[in-house]
Amino acid sequence: MRYLLGIDVGGTFTDFVAYDAMQRDVKVWKVPSTPTDPINGILNGIHSALSPDTISLVRLGTTVATNAVLERKGGTVAYVTTRGFRDVPFIQRGNRKAHYDMSWVKPKPLVKRRHCFEVTERIDAYGKEIVPLDEAEVARIADRIAADPEIEAVAVCFLFSYLDPAHETRAKAILAERLGADMPISTSFEVLPKWKEYERASTTLADAYLKPVVSRQLRAMRDRLDGEGVGAPVVVIKSNGGEMTLGAAAEAPVNLVMSGPTGGVIASRYLAELTGIDNLVTLDMGGTSTDVATVLGQQESFTTNFEIEWGVPIQIPMLDIRTIGAGGGSIAWIDKGGMLRVGPHSAGARPGPACYGFGGTDATVTDANVVLGRIDPDNFLNGTMKLDKAAAERAVGAVAEAIGQSVEATALAIVQIANNNMVSALRSVLIERGLDPRDFTLATFGGAGPPHAAELMGEIGIPRAIVPPHPGQFSAYGFIVTNARVDRQRTTQLTSRRFDAARASQILEDLVADAVDELKAQDFTENLVVHRALAMRYLGQNYELELSIEPADLSPERAAGLWAAFHKAHEARFGFAIPGETIEIVNYLATVVSIGDKPAFPKLAEGDGPPEPVGRRSVVFASGREEAPVYRREALLAGQTIGGPAIVEEAASVTIVAPGQHLDVDQFGSLHIAAHTNA
Amino acid sequence: MRFSDNGFYVEKYVKCANCGLLVYGPGIQTEGSRDIYCSDWCVEWAGLKAKGDPEPRLPIVPPRLPIEEAMAARVTERPPADPVMMNILDSTMVSICREMGILLMKTSYSTIFNEGLDFTCALADAKGDMIACAEFCPTMIGGMPILIKTCAQEIDFSTLEPGDVIVHNDPYRGGLHCPEHTFFKPIFADGALLGFAVCIGHIAEIGGMVPGAFCGEATEIFHEGMRVPPVKIRKAGKDVEEVWKLLLANCRTPRQNYGDLMAMIGSVDLGVDRVGQIVEKYGADVFRDTCEDLMDYSERRMRAELDAFPDGVYGFEDVIENDGIERKPYTVAIDLHIQGDEVVADYRRSSPQARGPVNATLGVATGAVYNGILHVTDPSIPKNSGCFRPIRVVSPPGLVVNVDYPGPLVAGNTETHPRLANIVIGAMSRCVPTRAMASESCTGTNFVFGGEHPDYDEYFACYDIMSGGWGGRHEHDGNDCVIAINGNCRFNPTEVFETRFPLRVETFEMMPDSGGAGRWRGGLGFRRELVVTQVPITASQCSDRHEVRPFALFGGAEGGNGGTMVKKAGSEAWSTVCELYGKTSSSKYANVRFDPGDRVLLWTPGGGGYGDPAERDPGAIAEDVAEGYVSAEAASRLYGWSGKA
């Protein structure tokens, strides 16, 4: 038996999915996480279910980089930059986090001001050298860095290096020569060759800041695994959802800052492929927070707008995942104007919702779901944990008294307001990006997500929802279906007035070659798929639209078609175009993916007739109270249909079907919810 | 307000002698005086103040324009407020405003829009009350309610059609300053006017005496660019070509302005579509009622905040160093009368209006009071017209805080606004010390320039903002290099700046020791040195704080000054524009020519300190010295620091 093992290290649980390609068998399990040393949780989980020598490959999402930047526990970095500009990371962009909040403290960069050094050199806005690099000065800086035992890594960021990296490359060579191979050095051209010096500097600093800690921890993990007999290769998942080897990760750790939450999105992309659904919006709802993302045309959506905290950007392309502080543990409260609010404060795991019986007295979303009969207090986590319905009613009752409503109406209001918070997050990834919810299917997972799907669909106008198998471990699923992926981007401006097709072509093909080299260096040589795009705008605008192109589109004859395509895309996205206007190409983007083998998941047997409910219970829906049949998910078979109202229960979650909706079971066991066509 | 018979022009701008609002219709006159008042409340308040009553108490009666009188007649019983609907509608409307702003940011051409984010998007109801806005530029948020209501006096809302778009920038009709253009588009439901999608944004180049609008030597509004009364730029979805041509003929950068105007129209188009979708879903009546509920809710929240402040009269003043025309200071003064859950903010102790462009319009002065109050109250109160109801602004006409036609005023919105907001916060320091902040930089620096672009064969104009230090606050030092609180703008990255404009940036660094000493010290300002490279530029500036430093609180020290120096090509000496070009003021001047090789050094003020420097944590002083925020010399002089450098 040879297992491909996917591991998702969460805050509370570490989830495992093992796939045996020969037997087409999938195992799913979880163990408590060990936050002080996550490797313990990983090893506990492996030993609890598998023999180490049966594992062929381990893929995992890692929070090493995420935690290091969020908790500010990275290395001590020296910053080397153009003379006159050492304060760029401190001055930042001049704006502030929120209006009217005088208690706000501007974030510090990932470097101390005393560790910043200036070098005489200058490239201008045309990419021309106007002041040569003072190499002796770089050498003197190297000596000062060498003399400071605190410094563990170096970041180099010169102005306009995205146009000509020669000075950065040379400075790196001088620094490396004098500091030795053990001193990690990140240059802005290698990390993010795009314009806007603050954003590039911040990203480059993050890479250098992470190098010492990430390489140390990845090495420690490899050693521990080897020591415990897990000799299989290990790959980690990048923030863009692609896999990379441990060696490559240590060289470019900035790629790992959003590794952890990618699993759910990758799994959703695969779900889209399996089910043939083009567009998914994902809702991964846990106890304290909810992640929202989109899959468009069976591809994940990407962003370069990540910030480790407000104002400190890391602009590496990564999966576009929005996190909001709304989950099952979110607390309902009354504000000073008498308005009922839900979250962002959460009861967390301890004391947790009032119904957990750990002494919590605040009403949470989970308590409201218990009061409404949507969650069965006797059947939570397969009945391993009894919930205290009376405590839930007391907690919701206190809120009800304050707003002068019945307990039931208040519970309903709590759920609706929590849903509204999630609708706001869904709006931000759909409507605010010009996407129409009617073209989407809502994929809900995480333990707390599926109970909310039925009502969220109606609130935001998404016609269909899907609950995948094992929604509680769905993120770990993602890690057994990843590909290797490298994204490359570069800024060089060219306009439609004087378009140099050969130059544009050359830039793009260089990026593609770079990306292919990076994959080959990690032995990802099979099934390479190349994607090219241009980021374009009207001359004068400051934000770009990305248009996918083929190499042939960059021939002089076909350039007119390129401009026409931009006008059309502008009209589609923003509602207007400016015909005849000069168009500027700003960024060149290349992505190369090495498509890995995908597991063939087991299929369910075909059902013969409707499923049998295991019981009935009284549930409050937005439309009123109804007796709803209760089904066990394990008993459902492919092709079966259930009319709402209904409840489907399983180990880690519960799915609600509202009146007027029905649920279909597909061949892989996913549950599809939709409104009756005539409802 | 007296209009010509055909309504084509204004014969006389008539303002309330007490609060300064424009008066439409006869107004109220008292015996033996030619003064006109907008309301009985203003007559009474002016009387109490004239008698020298130190603590007059007079419950607020909100001013009512004719449009509100007309709409008030239509008010019907509302069903009880639905908290779930309020929650849904508020977050949905804020999301719509944000989406409008994102479209504007992504499609506009001026860097002041797309890097600077100097704009605001909002929704208003049919009375012109703001019902929601997104977090963009605060001056515009406070100015919006007056603006739309003023337009309503001149455009008969009953004649509006779907697809109409109105443009307006007139500072004398509720506006802020000429660059600030307002676009609004009516929203209809079942044939009835439901409200408006609104966006206000700063157009960098609008003609006038200098490229970039900030004319430091303007003495009339006509020097400051093209003035546009509320006119339709689109009628029933069709461009009104004549208006477009007039607008684009009166600026130096028509291609860029066309892009900006299209972006603003795109933004209100989007707002109207999105509101249409939610009205379709919930119904127009629910929408209207819930908007009223939301404004009532914000009002309750604001009243609860004000009620918690001790009653009393709290005054504060600051000084504008000069107006660019004469070397003479101007006082801006506020008295906050906190009476129960309301506040009257009275500016009458301020100086008469200036000859130069430092004057503020009533919209600016009102917005600054709102801004200051919002800074000392709970930031989570939804921002709509409701939260402003318990605040009554009194800004008599003819003062530097309510300029009379045709006085110049372009700096009022960027320089005077933060000074006013800061004195409001300063006054509150006497009421709730732990919520206040010492003075911030209070300036956008406003160095503007234009010239012929060597690469693009067209004129360019640049308005880029610079940021200074925040004041020290209870428990925190001032933030370094953060924009003045009238805006929330970003400045241009050097790589964008040099790509767009034929200049080079030589240094971009913080100014050590510019933060005022204090238990919590002021934040630092920064300096930027520019070199003119290929073509000459024509530059102007409209700034302040070169001589008057940011004030401190509770025994702290004042923040550092800003400044501007020039080094001509071939010269080794740095000089002021006064020395080189015979200008009156180094912070306010117009049309100076800089040639290739000339260098301009601009630096911004640091913030004032809060509390006695002797009480500063020694660890914080040592860290300041180690990081170079405070020099060792200054640390020993100001804090008695004895550590090693």
For B406-418, how does the pLDDT look when each residue is reduced to its tens digit (9 = 90+)? 999 999 999 999 9
pLDDT digits (tens, 9 = 90+) for B226-254: 999 999 999 999 999 999 999 999 999 99
Residue A591 structure tokens: 């992505």
| pLDDT beyond 90 at B37 | yes
| pLDDT beyond 50 at A90 | yes
**Residues B279, B191: contact at Cβ < 8 Å?**
no
Q: How confident is the model at residue A432 (pLDDT cuts 50, 70, 90)?
A: confident
Q: Which amino acid is at A59?
A: R
| Contact between chains at A95 and B87 (C-beta distance less than 8 A) | no
- Minimum CA–CA partner of B270 in chain A: A575
B114 touches chain A (CB under 8 A): yes
Taking the C-alpha atoms of residue A48 and residue A40, their distance in angstroms, rounded to an integer, is: 12
Residues of B in Cβ contact (< 8 Å) with A431 = 95, 99, 274
Percent share of chain A, pLDDT over 90: 75
Average pLDDT over residues B305-318: 97
Average predicted confidence (pLDDT) for chain A: 92
**Residues A501, A555: contact at Cβ < 8 Å?**
yes
Residues 6+ away with beta carbon under 8 Å from B436:
A102, B376, B425, B426, B428, B429, B473, B474, B553
pLDDT of residue B259: 95
Task: List all residues of chain B from 133 to 192 with a beta carbon under 8 Å from chain A.
Answer: 135, 138, 141
**Torsional class of B552: left (φ above 0), alpha (ψ -120 to 50), beta (otherwise):** beta
- Minimum CA–CA partner of B506 in chain A: A84
Residue B301 structure tokens: 């929240």
> Residue A102: which of B86, B138, B437 has the nearest Cβ?
B437
Average pLDDT over residues A178-184: 95
**Residues A411, A368: contact at Cβ < 8 Å?**
yes
pLDDT digits (tens, 9 = 90+) for A666-675: 999 999 999 9
Residue A340 structure tokens: 């009922």
Residue B294 structure tokens: 């939301």
Residues 6+ away with beta carbon under 8 Å from B388:
B142, B145, B302, B370
pLDDT of residue B154: 86
What one-character DSSP code corresponds to residue B437? B
Cis peptide before A344 (omega within 30 of 0): yes
Q: How far is the alpha carbon of A164 from chain B, nearest alpha carbon, in Å?
A: 13
CA atoms within 13 A on the CB side of A598: 18
**Beta-bridge partner residues of A281:** A294, A442
Taking the C-alpha atoms of residue B193 and residue B124, their distance in angstroms, rounded to an integer, is: 11
Structure-token match 């660059």, residue found: B179
- Minimum CA–CA partner of B478 in chain A: A105
B13 touches chain A (CB under 8 A): no
Average predicted confidence (pLDDT) for chain B: 93
Q: How confident is the model at residue A679 (pLDDT cuts 50, 70, 90)?
A: very low
What distances in angstroms separate CA B333 from CA A304, B394, B442, one per listed residue?
Answer: 46, 12, 15
Residue B498 structure tokens: 């040099």
Percent share of chain B, pLDDT over 90: 83
Residue B57 structure tokens: 């108490």
Taking the C-alpha atoms of residue B308 and residue B432, their distance in angstroms, rounded to an integer, is: 10
Cis peptide before A351 (omega within 30 of 0): yes
Q: How far is the alpha carbon of A369 from chain B, nearest alpha carbon, in Å?
A: 17
Instruction: Return the number of other C-beta atoms located less than 10 Å from residue A149's C-beta.
Output: 7
Instruction: Classify burial at B620, counting beta carbons within 10 Å of its beta carbon; exposed 0-12, middle 13-18, buried 19 or more.
Output: middle
A198 touches chain B (CB under 8 A): yes
Q: What is the DSSP string of A106-165?
A: PPP-SS-GGGEEEE--EE-TTS-EEE---HHHHHHHHHHHHH-TT--EEEEE-TTTTT--
Q: How far is the alpha carbon of B360 from chain A, nearest alpha carbon, in Å?
A: 21
The bridge status of strand A646-649 relative to strand A624-632 is parallel
Among A452-466, B71-85, B98-112, B190-204, the range scoring the smallest mean pLDDT is B71-85
| Contact between chains at B99 and A431 (C-beta distance less than 8 A) | yes
Question: Of B364, B362, B353, whose CA–CA distance to B326 is shortest?
Answer: B353
pLDDT of residue A1: 54
Question: Of B596, B593, B595, B598, whose CA–CA distance to B571 is shortest?
Answer: B598
What distances in angstroms separate CA A481 from CA A9, A667, B315, one per listed residue?
Answer: 17, 19, 67
Q: How confident is the model at residue B73 (pLDDT cuts 50, 70, 90)?
A: low
Residue B112 structure tokens: 């002041």
Which three-class secondary structure state does DSSP give residue A337?
coil
Residues of A in Cβ contact (< 8 Å) with B645 = none
Taking the C-alpha atoms of residue B160 and residue B621, their distance in angstroms, rounded to an integer, is: 62
| pLDDT beyond 60 at B267 | yes
Residues of B in Cβ contact (< 8 Å) with A90 = 480-481, 510
| Contact between chains at B493 and A339 (C-beta distance less than 8 A) | no
Average pLDDT over residues B5-16: 94
- Minimum CA–CA partner of B464 in chain A: A94
Task: List all residues of chain B from 358 to 377 with a beta carbon under 8 Å from chain A.
Answer: 371, 374-377
Structure-token match 């180049």, residue found: B205
Structure-token match 């050492």, residue found: A86
**Stronger pLDDT, B166 or B156, i.e. the higher one:** B166
What one-character DSSP code corresponds to residue A430? T
pLDDT of residue A99: 84
- CB-based contacts of A270-276 (< 8 A; 24+ apart in sequence): A270/A477, A270/A478, A270/A481, A270/A598, A271/A443, A271/A466, A271/A468, A271/A670, A272/A298, A273/A298, A274/A601, A274/A668, A275/A466, A275/A666, A275/A668, A275/A670
pLDDT of residue B4: 93
**Residues B41, B126: contact at Cβ < 8 Å?**
no
pLDDT of residue B74: 66
Q: Taking the alpha carbons of A613, A614, A617, A620 in that order, is the dihedral positive or negative?
A: negative
> Residue B482: which of A96, A341, A403 has the nearest Cβ?
A96
ipTM given for this complex: 0.94
Instruction: Return the number of other C-beta atoms located less than 10 Å from residue B584's C-beta.
Output: 17
- Minimum CA–CA partner of B301 in chain A: A337
Question: Of B23, B55, B25, whose CA–CA distance to B42 is shortest?
Answer: B23
pLDDT digits (tens, 9 = 90+) for B419-431: 999 999 999 999 9
Continuous segment of H or E residues that includes residue A392: helix A389-403
Task: List all residues of chain B from 270 to 329 with a beta carbon under 8 Å from chain A.
Answer: 270, 274, 297-298, 300-301, 304-305
| Contact between chains at A85 and B466 (C-beta distance less than 8 A) | no
pLDDT of residue B643: 81
For B599-618, letters b (16+ CB in 10 Å) and e give bbbbbbbbbbbbbebeebee
**Residues A418, A326: contact at Cβ < 8 Å?**
yes
**Residues A188, A220: contact at Cβ < 8 Å?**
no
Residues 6+ away with beta carbon under 8 Å from A35:
A11
pLDDT digits (tens, 9 = 90+) for A11-48: 667 889 999 878 878 888 888 788 788 889 999 999 99
Structure-token match 């030092």, residue found: B477
Size of interface A-B (CB pairs under 8 A): 206
pLDDT of residue A570: 95
Structure-token match 């060219």, residue found: A494
Residues of A in Cβ contact (< 8 Å) with B107 = 538, 541, 543, 570, 574, 576
| Contact between chains at A99 and B379 (C-beta distance less than 8 A) | yes
Residue A294 structure tokens: 């989109």
Structure-token match 């999630």, residue found: A422
Would the pTM of this model clear 0.80, i.e. be above it? yes
pLDDT of residue B645: 46
Residue A396 structure tokens: 């919701």
Which three-class secondary structure state does DSSP give residue A259?
coil
pLDDT digits (tens, 9 = 90+) for A611-663: 999 999 999 999 899 999 999 999 999 999 999 899 999 988 899 999 999 99
Question: If you compute the radius of gyration of chain A from its CA atoms, what whole number of angstroms results?
Answer: 27
Q: How far is the alpha carbon of B371 from chain A, nearest alpha carbon, in Å?
A: 7
Instruction: Return the number of other C-beta atoms located less than 10 Å from residue A54's C-beta.
Output: 13
pLDDT digits (tens, 9 = 90+) for A615-629: 999 999 998 999 999
- Minimum CA–CA partner of B512 in chain A: A87
pLDDT of residue A11: 67
Average pLDDT over residues B339-347: 97
Taking the C-alpha atoms of residue B84 and residue B551, their distance in angstroms, rounded to an integer, is: 45
